[in-house]
Amino acid sequence: MATSISVESWLVSAGRDRQPGSPLNVPPVPSSNFVRGGQRAYTRNDGAPGWEALEEIVGGLEGGSSLAFASGMAGIAAIFDLLSVGSVVAIPDDCYQGVAGLAFAGQERGRWNVHRVGVTDTASWLKMCGQADLIWLESPSNPLLTVGDVDIICGAPRKPGAILCVDNTFATPLNQRPLILGADVSVQSVTKFIGGHSDLLSGVVSARDDSLLAALRQSRNLCGGTPGTLETFLAVRGARTLALRLNKSQETAITLAERLSVHPNVTLTRYPGLPSHPTQPAASRQLNGYGTIISFDVRGDAQTADKVCAGVRLIQHATSLGAVESTVERRACISGQEHLPPTLLRLSVGIESVDDIWADLDQALRNTSV
Ligand SMILES: *Cc1c(COP(=O)(O)O)cnc(C)c1O
């Protein structure tokens, strides 16, 4: 990204063809193949203009080059696909359940060995940097919103050939730039904030090293996790308003977190911007913003928490995050997340008015009070 331009302006202006007569928006090209003799022959091998627009936008934000995939998990699987048999993989103890699922499925098939490390256990991460072939960080973590010492771990020496990857989905490249901190790879589930409208699945993997990018491109080509034409068109459209949406949701999230933390029917509120949050200092050191996700524990039991989800009227009772609409769900009912507090609700704050979201949360919490 040109250093003279702000992130907001980059989001609006990048990934466009400025030739006279060109459409302002890169049109979706629904074609698997092209007439021989040109730059492209087959889309899985040669890409599509819409993918490249998305890659340019995200690559500039992350401070590297990007490859678009069919989903966040398709991009993540392409990274794991680079590992040789017998590799050592370190993943956080609180991380996206799909990443843990992929890591342990591969271990069961004898492909690699998985070590789990506490998100804030920096000493163990630094030790793993000298031993692991893939160091997988996620910060803020899902759903406990713990912020690790990403800057310190990314800057530490690692085993030659090792890949350090940060799942940057919760922070977005607006709040955190792992490649600048020294990570080899940064991953976005574009499904979440960049798409921003709960209407697509897509992922982007970013890196700076050319041979690593070539290997990831080969993996995308051979394993076939290529993005959809319409999905990348929608993702680019979503990216245009990312800064506006994130800033608005983030402002609302701070207010909601403060109010939730003193609500009589809430026993614990986790938000990296709250002074009471255990890793608030790390968050304020590393993040440009505290994000739009709040996890809070409802007073009562799992049933009470379920009632809150059933009782919301404006907020959607749905999974996923990072969209224009606020969503809430009880995380312990998700497969792979059973270890979480049974009353933990994860709220993704959308762009509705703060007072309307609060009124909805408050009525849902009060109507289920035990
Ligand atoms: C959703 C998500 C993923 C997976 O992305 P998909 O687009 O659903 O495949 C990975 N990491 C995090 C943190 C996520 O929230």
| The 3-state secondary structure of 13-31, one letter per residue | HCCCCCCCCCCCCCCCCCC
- Calculate how far, in angstroms, residue 167's C-alpha sits from the geometric centre of ligand 1: 9
Best residue for ligand 1 mutational test, from 73, 170, 327 (most atoms within 8 Å of Cβ): 73
Neighbours of 320 (CB within 10 A): 15
**What pTM was computed for the model?**
0.97
**Gap from CA of 78 to ligand 1 centroid (Å):** 14
Residue 192 bears catalytic tag: yes
**Residue 16 a catalytic site member:** no
> Which of 149, 151, 158, 192 is the catalytic position?
192
User: Cα 282 vs. chain centroid, distance in angstroms?
Assistant: 19
Please indicate whether residue 96 is annotated as part of the active site: yes
- Domains of the chain, first to last: 7-239 (3.40.640.10), 243-367 (3.90.1150.10)
Burial 272-292 (b: 16+ CB within 10 A, else e): bbbeebebbebbeebbebbbb
- Per-residue pLDDT tens digits of the chain, which is 370 residues long: 655 899 999 999 999 999 999 999 999 999 999 999 999 999 999 999 999 999 999 999 999 999 999 999 999 999 999 999 999 999 999 999 999 999 999 999 999 999 999 999 999 999 999 999 999 999 999 999 999 999 999 999 999 999 999 999 999 999 999 999 999 999 999 999 999 999 999 999 999 999 999 999 999 999 999 999 999 999 999 999 999 999 999 999 999 999 999 999 999 999 999 999 999 999 999 999 999 999 999 999 999 999 999 999 999 999 999 999 999 999 999 888 889 999 999 999 999 999 999 999 999 999 985 5
State if residue 189 touches ligand 1 by the CB under 6 angstroms criterion: yes
In this structure, which residue's CA is closest to atom 5 in ligand 1? 72
Q: Locate 10 and state its tokens.
A: 């980059």
Ligand 1 midpoint to CA 23 (Å): 32
Task: Specify whether 44 is catalytic.
Answer: yes
